[in-house]
Amino acid sequence: MAHSIKALLPFVGEKPIDRLHNDTLVPFIEARRRAGLATGTINKDLSVVRRILNLAARVWRDESGLSWLSAPPLIQMLKGPRRRPYPLSWDEQTLLFKELPDYLARMCLFKVNAGLREQEVCRLRWDWEIRVPELDTSVFVIPGYAHKNGEDRLVVLNRIASSVLEEQRGKHRQWVFAYDGRPFHRLYCTAWKNARVRAAKRYEAELECPCPDGFKRVRIHDLKHTFGHRLRAAGVSLEDRQDLLGHKSDRITTHYSAPDIARLVEAANKVCEQRHTVLRVIVPQAVTQKSRTKLTQRAGVARVLLGD
């Protein structure tokens, strides 16, 4: 949210809150598009404006007890193509991680084996760790205020994630991953972008085939998608995948027994060694949307994980 507000201030910082609406946000939107930002990123910024205006109309009060706005204006989200998830193959993961600096490679290796979101990795704290002596392991419980859906989240670690954790133990008193005594702000940074470019070049040189556009633009969040796809390819049940990925469900999952955790650890470990091929059907850019739809239907899916 702070990053979005910083970007918005040069465009709307001097305007009264009752003058904020779709039209006043047009210069901001145009500037973000010129900067090459995706529709989804711009919509995240707009959602911050929408949230502030809703609070001003429904929650915040002035010294007289009146709301700041009589009613919040409708802030419309932009429409545009959404970037599809891009689960990494094992070869792609190796190529990419080799190009990352050591600190970032460790965090990404942890992320792709724990299924955490970016900020959950960056802000992971040691005081959230809970030992499970019956299993000779530990788990993390991320409190609801630090989790997207507002509920406590259990984080189960497989062998690889546990090994990364042990490498970090003792480096900082509070944060699992820290730099110069402070937690990381984000994983998506210049180092990630530069590594992505180098990995794309190595892809074509070492694998001797055209580099998919999805790999050239692979996102930090695709590491979480990779974990989820590998769980599914390994035959892990939907319920266990939801728990391991921290997805909200209708089940009561606020309490786990040792056998529950043992089952989840076993499921998480299935992605450590099983190597499933990622088959990608590349659709030529020159074909029409109608032809592309037909080709996708004939292929069954545009991206298939063998074993799904």
Mean pLDDT of 277-284: 56
What percent of the chain is predicted at pLDDT more than 70? 85
Three-state DSSP at 125 gives strand
- Which pLDDT value is given to residue 251? 58
* Cβ atoms 226, 87 nearer than 8 A: yes
Pairwise CA distance, residues 285 & 216, whole Å: 16
Pairwise CA distance, residues 32 & 99, whole Å: 29
| More confident site: 200 or 4 | 200
- Which pLDDT value is given to residue 10? 87
Residue pLDDT, tens place only, 118-134: 999 999 999 999 999 98
Residue 265 has pLDDT above 90, yes or no: yes
- Which pLDDT value is given to residue 148? 65
pLDDT band at 296 (very low <50, low <70, confident <90, very high): very low
C-alpha dihedral (256, 257, 261, 263), degrees to nearest 10 = -110
Residue 303 has pLDDT above 60, yes or no: no
Three-state DSSP at 77 gives coil
Mean pLDDT of 61-88: 86
- Which pLDDT value is given to residue 149? 65
pLDDT band at 279 (very low <50, low <70, confident <90, very high): low
- Which pLDDT value is given to residue 290? 44
* 191-219-104 Cα angle (round to 5): 35
pLDDT band at 276 (very low <50, low <70, confident <90, very high): low
CB under 8 Å to 98, separation ≥6 — which residues?
105, 199, 202
Sign, CA dihedral 218-149-112-124, equals positive
* Cβ atoms 16, 69 nearer than 8 A: no
Residue 80 has pLDDT above 90, yes or no: no
- Which pLDDT value is given to residue 115? 94
pLDDT band at 283 (very low <50, low <70, confident <90, very high): very low
* Cβ atoms 5, 44 nearer than 8 A: no
Q: Which uninterrupted H or E stretch holds 193? A: helix 190-207
Residue 214 identity (one-letter amino acid): G
Residue pLDDT, tens place only, 37-68: 888 888 888 999 899 999 999 999 888 888 88
Closest among 46, 79, 41, 82 to 186, alpha carbons compared: 41
Residue 284 has pLDDT above 80, yes or no: no
What percent of the chain is predicted at pLDDT more than 90? 50
All domains of the chain in start order, with CATH: 1-82 (no CATH), 90-276 (1.10.443), 277-308 (no CATH)
Residue pLDDT, tens place only, 181-238: 899 999 999 999 999 999 999 998 888 888 998 999 999 999 999 999 999 999 999 9
* Cβ atoms 31, 11 nearer than 8 A: yes
Pairwise CA distance, residues 308 & 301, whole Å: 12
pLDDT band at 287 (very low <50, low <70, confident <90, very high): very low
Phi and psi (nearest 5°) for 38?
Answer: -70, 160
pLDDT band at 253 (very low <50, low <70, confident <90, very high): low
- Which pLDDT value is given to residue 102? 95
| More confident site: 202 or 295 | 202
Mean residue pLDDT of the chain comes to 85
